[in-house]
Structure 1
Amino acid sequence: MPSSTVHLKEQVFCQQPTGFVDPDRPDAVCLLDRSLYGLRQAPRAWFERFAAFIRTLGFTATRSDSSLFTLRRGHDLVYLLLYVDDIVITGSSAALIQNIVNKLRAEFAVKDMGDLRFFLGIDVRRSKEGFYLSQARYANDVLERAGMASYKAAATPIDAKGKLDATGPAVADATSYRQLAGALQYLTVTRPDIAFAVQQVCLHMHDPREPHLALLKRILRYVRGTTSHGLLLRASTDFNITAYSDADWAGCPATRRSTSGFCVFLGDALISWSSKRQAMVSRSSAEAEYRALVNAAAECIWLRQLLGELHCSINKATLAFCDNISGGIHVGQSSAPQTNQAH
């Protein structure tokens, strides 16, 4: 869907294009009334036009995600996700989806690619068990870029003492380090098993050292042997959100800040996870644990709001399990040992 058909609301001027310069007025500039590819205003103008059109079809923009739209017509539901000019549509009625595609095709240069198989570097495989999401092709591209496609695979992405300080010789090519670390960040979209290790190498992107590069290469060697790993999303009779959080206390050797981690399940499907260094120093392990629990709770609140806007309301309270070693307040006792259960 080209953005050249999108009208601009503000005044934008550009130089006369090469080969089309007016010989009588070579210093004149062009006033645009439609956006051009590569124009800074083009993405916003395109999104505004697309969003305005699909609202005429009955879609409603969600507050939880500005690129996600929902349509409810009777008992039928349709979800539309927009990323630049890539669209994913799903719903409960094939006839309604086809009708929407036909209307989009009449308004924009839309090409129907059929069932979802590849989207933003993510391979989607459908089976009787559910949807399997992986980034095998993307992982192989990252390994090729790093020149490690033929390296021996590592059994784990990080050792037991994975926290690195900021000392050591500086790396020869800091730009390459940052590029590979950023590429691994996107790989964590379907690979929660490397989230913590990638978080550690990303902490030192501003000033990478040789120990950080060694960890980066170890992660790549681990990815080398696990390129087919991914996530399996399957239907479940248990439609409840459950979160698990944990934190180390003053684990960062350089700043003495703690690292929070959580994962969130919808039924038995893992749908969200995070590993992040806390913004400030915690005075006790209890404080570090509660900061981690707050992050998990905020994610659960957002997910509940998102599911509500998708017309999939959850009636039961969300359970959040956290470490109990610090001896915090018992909101509710869980069946697992040494854990607190918060509602």
Structure 2
Amino acid sequence: MMKKEDKAEDSGKGMQASATFRINMSDSTGVQITSCLLNGENYLTWSRAMKIALTAKGKLGFVEGRWKWVFKIKQRADGSVDRYKARLVAKGFTQVEGIDFHETFAPVAKLVTVRCLLTVAVARGWEMHQMDVQNTFLHGNLDEEVYMRLPPSFFSRREGMVCCLRKSLYGLRQASRNWYSKFADALRGYGFHQSGADHSLFIYSRGDVFLGVLVYVDDLIVVSNNSAHCASFKKYLHQCFRIKDLGPLKYFLGIEVTRANSSLFLNQKKYALDILTECGMLGSRPSYVPMEQNHGLYVDSGSCLEDASRYKRLIGRLIYLTITIPDLSYLVHVLAQFMQDPRQPHWEAAMRVVRYLKQSPSQGIFIQPNSLDLIAYCDSDWAGCPMTRRSVTGYFIMLGGSPVSWKTKKQTTVSRSSAEAEYRAMAATVSEILWLRSLLSFLGVRIDRPTPLFCDNQAALHIVANPAFRERTKHIERDCHFIREHI
């Protein structure tokens, strides 16, 4: 649908094509290329990828416009090249709210939900499959009227003409929401119900047949107790979208999944080795103690780093590594406090954590088919932060003997006593337990017994068991006292 360019000025202003591309290491699943010269050998490879992308857009009813190209080398779990991907990406920063887009939020699966679903699947002996949606955001229906200019080289251009999008496109502010809405509608049309605890989790339950689908943008985990019905569901998805069936679950969001008999092992070995390689620590001596107890790290410790971005990038990667290595949680919490202005001692402490990875880069979570009982532990220091004197909460929750949820977080207010700090830690843990019980109930897991919560502070336990307002506890916010309603 062609329109005069003057009508597109409001929504398409400033949209220019980018001609140069530079290589930038992106994430655990591929290499993101935001810039490299397309000549010689590279040009032929990327040109084919660009044509594949444009063909996909044509099949999905998309009228292409002039934005910019982004290239990515998609890798397998072992690091080898899976395929070269090219995307025509919209410059969403030029969109005007209320005209070109309205709502933009789209949920993704919580990683705690991923671990819970896999733990339940192992305990119940369910099949676990993985699927990938191709050209994800191009499937979404576009409600707004969005115009853009034509890209060079691939389409004939006419002076003063622009095009109107009929489908959503990568880079549009509302693209992820449009995709999620369409996919959720397709699942509901099949008979799935959506979880209220995590909106990315859907289940289908009819008689003895159970199907569970967890959605993380274009990556899907499918669990089922019926092979025939699972195959029927996959066929339905193929009719609705362009889906790639990856078979049994092996590699999801950078997490390597290994099956051994009826058990499951989750780790991020490739990701950990990538960190060691990037930091030049592959040949270093491993550290068996990741951080000193009295580490003495302060905001103004030592001299400033010349390149603060290296520190920020490393901490970001270590945060992602805590998905399967819970004992990194506190270490990363400490180091992340200095990301605004990292100093040399902070970098040295981070390098020690990296050397700690060297002694066992394949460490992870082992899931066995046990009874699905929840058990929780919580703890807190008192005024542990030397800068703010706020306490740090930590909790660790297991399902069927396997860790599913953990967190280390600084409390929002200063506690006047160690008992108050521990009481606040208990409140945070109880909130997580209630959410987990709701999630497990949706998955069909009956938890008839109370969930044991362990705390090592007798004064805090006394506050929970005795609802009296004393001189040293009367100031504690009411939201913490909800613990008393759940014991």
Q: Same fold (TM over 0.5)?
A: yes
Structure 2: 5+ residue stretches without partners? 1-133, 466-483
Structural mapping, 1:136-285, within 5 Å:
136-162=269-295, 164-168=297-301, 169-237=303-371, 239-285=372-418
Contact 1:163 / 1:252 at 8 angstroms: preserved in 2?
A: no
1:90 aligns with 2:223: yes
1:122 aligns with 2:255: yes
The DSSP-based 3-state class of the residue aligned with 1:257 is coil
Task: Work out the CA distance in 2 between the residues paired with 1:323 and 1:172.
Answer: 43
Question: What residue identity is the alignment partner of 2:356?
Answer: Y
More deviation in 15-24 or 52-61?
Answer: 15-24
Contact 1:177 / 1:208 at 8 angstroms: preserved in 2?
A: yes
Question: How far apart are residue 211 of structure 1 and its match?
Answer: 1.7
1:308 aligns with 2:429: no
**RMSD in angstroms over aligned alpha carbons?**
1.8
1:67 aligns with 2:200: yes
Paired-residue identity, %: 38
Question: What residue identity is the alignment partner of 1:180?
Answer: L
In our comparison, the structure showing a higher alpha carbon Rg is 2
Deviations 1:18-49 (A, max 9, x none): 23363331xx4322120123333221111111
Contact 1:163 / 1:200 at 8 angstroms: preserved in 2?
A: no
1:17 aligns with 2:133: no
Contact 1:244 / 1:321 at 8 angstroms: preserved in 2?
A: yes
TM-score by length of 1: 0.92
Contact 1:154 / 1:218 at 8 angstroms: preserved in 2?
A: yes
Structure 1 pair 213/260, CA: closer, same or farther in 2 (3 Å)?
A: same
Question: What residue identity is the alignment partner of 1:317?
Answer: P
Deviations 1:178-204 (A, max 9, x none): 010000000000001111111111111
Contact 1:250 / 1:258 at 8 angstroms: preserved in 2?
A: yes
Question: How far apart are residue 330 of structure 1 and its match?
Answer: 6.9
Contact 1:190 / 1:231 at 8 angstroms: preserved in 2?
A: yes
Contact 2:455 / 2:461 at 8 angstroms: preserved in 1?
A: no
Question: How far apart are residue 100 of structure 1 and its match?
Answer: 0.3
Task: Work out the CA distance in 2 between the residues paired with 1:17 and 1:5.
Answer: 21
TM-score by length of 2: 0.66
Question: What residue identity is the alignment partner of 1:22?
Answer: R
Please name the residue that 1:5 is paired with: 139
Question: How far apart are residue 118 of structure 1 and its match?
Answer: 0.7
Deviations 1:64-90 (A, max 9, x none): 112111110112211101111111101
Question: What residue identity is the alignment partner of 1:203?
Answer: Q
The DSSP-based 3-state class of the residue aligned with 1:37 is coil
Question: How far apart are residue 161 of structure 1 and its match?
Answer: 1.5
The DSSP-based 3-state class of the residue aligned with 1:113 is strand
Contact 1:158 / 1:215 at 8 angstroms: preserved in 2?
A: yes
Task: Work out the CA distance in 1 between the residues paired with 2:192 and 2:244.
Answer: 20
Deviations 1:73-124 (A, max 9, x none): 1122111011111111011111111110011112211121111011111010
Deviations 1:147-191 (A, max 9, x none): 222221111211122462212211121111001000000000000
Task: Work out the CA distance in 1 between the residues paired with 2:221 and 2:284.
Answer: 36
The DSSP-based 3-state class of the residue aligned with 1:10 is coil
The DSSP-based 3-state class of the residue aligned with 1:89 is strand
Question: What residue identity is the alignment partner of 2:214?
Answer: L
Given candidates 286, 310, 314, the residue that maps to 2:419 is 286
Contact 1:162 / 1:197 at 8 angstroms: preserved in 2?
A: no
Structure 1 pair 253/183, CA: closer, same or farther in 2 (3 Å)?
A: same
Question: How far apart are residue 331 of structure 1 and its match?
Answer: 5.8
Structure 1 pair 163/110, CA: closer, same or farther in 2 (3 Å)?
A: farther
Please name the residue that 1:337 is paired with: none
Deviations 1:247-289 (A, max 9, x none): 0000111111111101001131111111111111111111100
1:297 aligns with 2:410: no
Question: What residue identity is the alignment partner of 1:135?
Answer: Q
Equivalent residue pairs, number: 332
Task: Work out the CA distance in 1 between the residues paired with 2:174 and 2:461.
Answer: 50
Please name the residue that 2:212 is paired with: 79
Structure 1: 5+ residue stretches without partners? 333-340
Contact 1:164 / 1:252 at 8 angstroms: preserved in 2?
A: no
Task: Work out the CA distance in 1 between the residues paired with 2:464 and 2:174.
Answer: 50
The DSSP-based 3-state class of the residue aligned with 2:152 is coil
